[in-house]
Amino acid sequence: MRLLADIVLMPLIAFITGLFLVLMYRRVRAKIERRVGPPFFQPVYDIVKLFAKKTQISHGVMHDLSIVLLLGGYITAEIFLPVPGFKGLAEEGDLLTLIYIMMVPMLGLALGVGSCANPNGSIGISRALTAMLAYDVPLAVAIIGATMTYGTTNLVEIVRIQQEGGMATWGIATMPLLAIGGYLAVHGMFGKEPFEIYIAPAEIATGPMVEMSGKYMGALFIMQCFQLYTIGVLYVTLFLGGGENWPLFLIKVAAVVFISVAVTNVYGRYRTDKVVRWMWKWPTGIALLGLALVMAK
């Protein structure tokens, strides 16, 4: 029974926290541009309006299935992500499984956008996959380093190890270089400004979202909430000691997303190959250095 509660509650909490994160993202952006910014329930209004659209245009069965796969993939990822109070299925599938479950919605979106038969979407997806290859190398190095120091890939175990000695045993304290390299990769994973090569409204008309309208676009907004939440919680679980209690946990996740969002709004957009070169130079370098330190111990 407990598991059933976890399965239903964890995605719901993820969605609500995600809405707060999206609201924070738009408010911070407005404040940086010296604007007032959207009202409190704006993300909810957007999603409800998109779902309440009277005409819904689809480009075939795969276009619909991709949205279903997208939502399903992220809901699964939420269930395998340990949060304070809920263990979900983190025992059954470990960190490696989570990384690959997070690729299922990306593949689903890619297939859906491909079936829209719009080259803007295809270019967007090819850039998104290139960016994924770019930021996943430093992320892999960081994850390998982390699992080597913790000795296990079981997420619940990792959180317990980090909380034994309070702040001193947090991931960021024991392996600062890996944490920094990991954060730069996670910033790329958010897909925001400096690495926002696949939305790129000016060049490829919002890339993958070009043919999405109505409830398809609403599902992508929901995905954005899930994405911000999942990546934030993943980083907190690996390097910031996971969640002891809900308020501290939410502050940590908000901090991770806030720094990334603050950085985002002062940057232009890199070219695709610049993203790949940058990601394979700085974050990978720092992370490899951290890994070398870990291996030396």
Partner 1 sequence: MSELDFLFAFAAVLIAGVMCCGRDGRAGWAAMAVYGAMLVAVMAAAGKVAGGSIPSALGFSVLGHKIGWRMDGLGWFFSMLTAGAAFFASWYAAGEWGRAQPGMKTQHLLLALNVAAMLLLVNAGDLLSLFIGWELVSWAAFAMMAQKGGPAQPAAMRYMIYALAGAMAVLAGIMIVHAVTGSFAYKDFAAAFGAMSSGMKWLLAGLFAAGFGVKMALMPFHLWQAAAYSETPGASSAFLNAVSARMGLFALILVLVKVMGLSALAGLHVPLIGLSAKGLLMWIAAFTMVIPTFIALMQTDARMLLTWHGIGQGGYMLLGVLVGTGLGTAGGLLHVFNYATYQMALFLAVTAVIHRTGTSDLDRLGGLITRMPWTYVTLLMGIIGLAGLPPMNGFVSKWMIYRSLLDSGSAFLLIFAFVGTLGTILSVYKLIHNIFLGRLRPQHEGVREAPWSMVAPMLALGGIGFVTGWFPGLALNLTDIAQAAMGAPELPHGLGGVATARGSLNMIWVVSILLVAIGFGAIVFYFLGNRRYEVNQLNNYAGGHFLSPQVPYQFSHEFYPGLARVIGPWYRGSIVRAEQGIGTLLDVSGDLWRGIYHLAWTPLYLLAATVIALGWAIMGGM
Partner 2 sequence: MTDKPLKSHVRPPQDTMPGGAGQGCPAPDAQTRSIWRRIMDDFADHCRARSLFVLHYCTGCGAIELPPTITSRFDMERVGITPMVTPRQADILLITGYLSLKTLKRVILSYEQMQGPKYVLGFGSCTINGGMYWNSYATMKRLDQYIPTDLFIAGCMPRPEAVQQVLLKLIEDIDAGRANAWQDYYRNYDFYLGNQQRLFGAGWNTPTDVIGEARHYGYYGPGTEGEHTRLLAEGGGSAARLAHAEYPSTALTGRIKS
Task: List contacts with partner 2 (CB under 8 A).
Answer: 26, 30, 33-39, 41-42, 44-46, 48-49, 52-57, 59-60, 117, 201, 205-206, 209-214, 217
Q: How far apart are CA 146 and CA 165, in angstroms?
A: 17
Q: Is the four-CA dihedral 39, 44, 50, 53 of positive or negative sign? A: negative
Q: How far apart are CA 250 and CA 108, in angstroms?
A: 29
Q: 220 to 239, contacts with partner 1 by CB under 8 A?
A: 222
Residue 219 interacts, among partner 2, partner 1, none and using kind-specific CB cut-offs from 5 to 8 Å, with partner 1
207 three-class SS: helix
Q: Which stretch binds partner 1 (CB under 8 A): 20-28, 231-239, 249-257, 271-279?
A: 271-279
Q: How far apart are CA 222 and CA 249, in angstroms?
A: 21
Q: In sequence order, which residues have a C-beta less than 8 Å from that of residue 65 and are 6 or more positions away?
A: 108, 111, 112
Q: How far apart are CA 9 and CA 112, in angstroms?
A: 28
Task: Report if residue 104 touches partner 1, rule: CB under 8 A.
Answer: yes
Binding mask 123-152 for partner 1 (x = CB under 8 A): x-xxx-xx-xx--xx--xx--xx-xx--xx
Considering only 17, 76, 224, 264, the residue that binds partner 1 (CB under 8 A) is 76
- Give min distance, CB of 66 to partner 2, in A: 15
- Give min distance, CB of 43 to partner 2, in A: 9
Q: How far apart are CA 56 and CA 60, in angstroms?
A: 12
Q: 10 to 29, contacts with partner 1 by CB under 8 A?
A: 11
Q: Which two tokens stand for residue 70?
A: 């997208």
Task: Report if residue 70 touches partner 1, rule: CB under 8 A.
Answer: yes
- Give min distance, CB of 119 to partner 1, in A: 4
Considering only 17, 23, 81, 118, the residue that binds partner 1 (CB under 8 A) is 118
By the 10 Å C-beta count (0-12 exposed, 13-18 middle, 19+ buried), 24 is classed as middle
- Give min distance, CB of 139 to partner 1, in A: 9
Residue 201 interacts, among partner 1, partner 2, none and using kind-specific CB cut-offs from 5 to 8 Å, with partner 2
- Contact of 66 with 115, CB cutoff 8 Å: yes
Q: How far apart are CA 120 and CA 208, in angstroms?
A: 7
Q: How far apart are CA 112 and CA 215, in angstroms?
A: 14
Task: Report if residue 156 touches partner 1, rule: CB under 8 A.
Answer: no
Nearer of residues 40 and 267 to partner 2, judged by Cβ: 40
Residue 37 interacts, among partner 1, partner 2, none and using kind-specific CB cut-offs from 5 to 8 Å, with partner 2
